[in-house]
Amino acid sequence: MKKFERFIAVLVVFALALTLFVAFRPSEAISSSKKVTISTSMWGDINAKYDFIAAFEKKYPNIKVNVIKAPENYSEKLQAMIAANKAPDVPLVWECDIGRFAKNGVIIPLDPYIKKTKAFTMNDFIPAFAKLTKMQGAVYGLPWCFATEIMYYNKTLFDKAKVPYPTDKWTWDDVLNAAKKLTIVKGGKTIQWGIDYPRFVGIWYALIGAAGDDVADEKGNVALGKGVKIAVQWVYDLVNKYKVMPAPSTSMGVTDLFASGKAAMAFTGSWMISTYRDIKDFKWDIAPLPKKVRQYSNLHTGFYTISKTSKYKEESWKFIEFMLSEEGQKILSQGYNNPSARKSLMAKGYYKVAGPNGPTNWKAMDDTAQFAQLGYVLLPPGGTDKFVKRLESAVAKQVLIDQAINEGIKELKEITASYK
């Protein structure tokens, strides 16, 4: 009987110990044994060779990541998901939205998680992002990488015309002089352009910034002035006076003139390196955008954030932490040719994946990172696009330059005010 009583007592103690262990075991142990699915959003495709989702799921097999892609009107579609209470766990948020989302409580501060991480430190990020964090009062998002605008040039055409290659000292006058020598007209038809028309809207704001305007202030307000007319007049003259650049109607919506070898120079986003690296017909390279009163390019990125409504915040942070780690940043940089926003990783040059004919002047990216700013990207995308269309109408001689600028700035300010 005594043996039986002792046996019962042992069972009671064991059961009590087991109950306490289950009740008080760490939350990480719970999540490690539970399979969950989180979602993230993005606007582009994932390079199969550099699949960061697969890499994350391999490291964390109990966390599956569903990717919601919206290649067009990304900002608007993300806002619609949030309004419908269907926000992704980890929204990749544009610069123009992150401040508003933070203010409206859509996303949560990441500071508590950042304090515990060993994957990175905040002082490793390039200055522009530290400045944005200061504006918001807390860290609401971390940059997945960064891109900017640069100059592309056809070395084969430059060599043929015996024109020196662009350098980081080039000005707008240098571009004009080179474009004149590189433009070829036969039978009254231009068969080779000195420089392609600025297809990407960000180039307009880079030119305006180079002409002296701040474009947007730290609070996300429109900060346009005399620089707009200087920039519009320059593009107008390249098209209509010097005829070294195709008009908007003949350049937009057609084959990429630079990629096809029909334009010796082009100003566009650094992300085009991943497209142009497949060029086989000519040698090419990159340089910083030329200066007017200063050098200026825009910084572009997306910020990994955590939705307030996410049921899996710890798992969502694990994903962000991985993406900001050296492993995650290396995959992103190699897949998109975009440098890491972490200075230590940018220095390692993971983004320097060249093609058979270019580029080689990677210093252009390093130099641009020093003067590039979060400018027009802080303004609503719909408004900035409309403003550029007004400027293009002036270049196309459909409206006077002053009229296009005045009406455009007024409209952009109204859209920006309503966006907040």
Q: Tokens in use for 133?
A: 């964090």
- Look at residue 17 and tell me whether its pLDDT is greater than 50: no
Q: What is the pLDDT of residue 26?
A: 35
User: The pTM is what?
Assistant: 0.83
Question: In this structure, are strands 215-216 and 303-304 parallel, antiparallel, or unpaired?
Answer: unpaired
Could you tell me if 357 and 283 are in contact, meaning their C-beta atoms sit under 8 angstroms apart? yes
Identify the band that residue 18 occupies on the pLDDT scale cut at 50, 70 and 90.
Answer: very low
Average pLDDT in the chain: 90
Q: Which residue has the higher pLDDT, 317 or 72?
A: 317
What stretch(es) of the chain map to CATH 3.40.190.10?
Answer: 36-147+300-348, 149-298+379-419
Q: What is the pLDDT of residue 72?
A: 87
- Look at residue 92 and tell me whether its pLDDT is greater than 60: yes
Q: Tens of pLDDT along 216-258?
A: 987 789 999 999 999 999 999 999 999 999 998 755 556 799 9
- Look at residue 268 and tell me whether its pLDDT is greater than 90: yes
Q: What angle do CA 30, 36, 40 make, to 5 degrees?
A: 130
Q: Tens of pLDDT along 29-67?
A: 334 468 999 999 999 899 899 999 999 999 999 999 999
CATH topology of domain 36-147+300-348: D-Maltodextrin-Binding Protein; domain 2 (3.40.190)
Q: Tens of pLDDT along 363-399?
A: 999 899 889 988 999 899 889 999 999 999 999 999 9
Identify the band that residue 135 occupies on the pLDDT scale cut at 50, 70 and 90.
Answer: low
Q: What is the pLDDT of residue 3?
A: 42
CATH tag, 149-298+379-419: 3.40.190.10
Measured CA distances, 391 to 201, 272, 278, 397 (Å): 10, 24, 33, 10
Per the DSSP assignment, residues forming a β-bridge with 93 are 303
- Look at residue 358 and tell me whether its pLDDT is greater than 70: yes
381-395 helix and 201-210 helix, angle to the nearest 10 degrees: 80
Identify the band that residue 120 occupies on the pLDDT scale cut at 50, 70 and 90.
Answer: very high
Could you tell me if 72 and 122 are in contact, meaning their C-beta atoms sit under 8 angstroms apart? no
